[in-house]
Amino acid sequence: MKIIVNDANILIDLLSVNLLDIFLELDYEFHTNDFILNEITNQTQRHQLEKVIEANKLILNETKSKDYVEILKLKTKGLSFEDCSIWFYAKKIGGILLTGDNLLRKTAEKDMIPVKGILFVFDELVDSGKLDKKAARFKLFQLTKLNPRLPVLEINKRLVHWEK
């Protein structure tokens, strides 16, 4: 089974449009780590994540002390320790890094880590039949109002395609 390693921004986006539970039904093994969980400061969202972790739908990796040195070696200009921790973890377990952070994406891709973003999630939800096109359009439009940093051209392509 393929592994997806989730960054905080993806989890926040999914929680913001109530798609986390459906996302976790996809045919992947879902992971994150303790540093990413600690980036979730909204208590309602934090509680929702803790529930899916307790239900073993999202695997929480507790960073080991020996991993700190390796994470610090990855530290580059512009990336936070948390960014480096999730990059390290995706590399360590051979997972797909799921992030909306452009610098993290580019850096991890240079390190041969497969990287996907929130539009991959929407595509997977539609392709799997877990979300119909009308609902996907609504949720994606809703997300654009909450997260202005999303790729507008790619979003518009999907909105038009899913309208047909």
pLDDT confidence of 73, banded at 50, 70, 90?
Answer: confident
pLDDT digits (tens, 9 = 90+) for 149-158: 899 899 999 9
**Beta strand 29-33 pairing with 96-98:** unpaired
pLDDT digits (tens, 9 = 90+) for 130-144: 999 999 999 999 999
Domain limits of the chain? 3-118, 131-163
* Cα–Cα distance measured from residue 150 to residue 164, given in angstroms and rounded to the nearest whole number: 22
Superfamily of domain 3-118: 5'-nuclease (3.40.50.1010)
Radius of gyration for the alpha carbons in the chain, expressed in angstroms and rounded: 16
Q: What is the dihedral of CA 86, 91, 97, 100, to 10 degrees?
A: 50
Contact 87/111 with Cβ under 8 angstroms? yes
Q: 97: part of which helix (H) or strand (E)?
A: strand 96-98
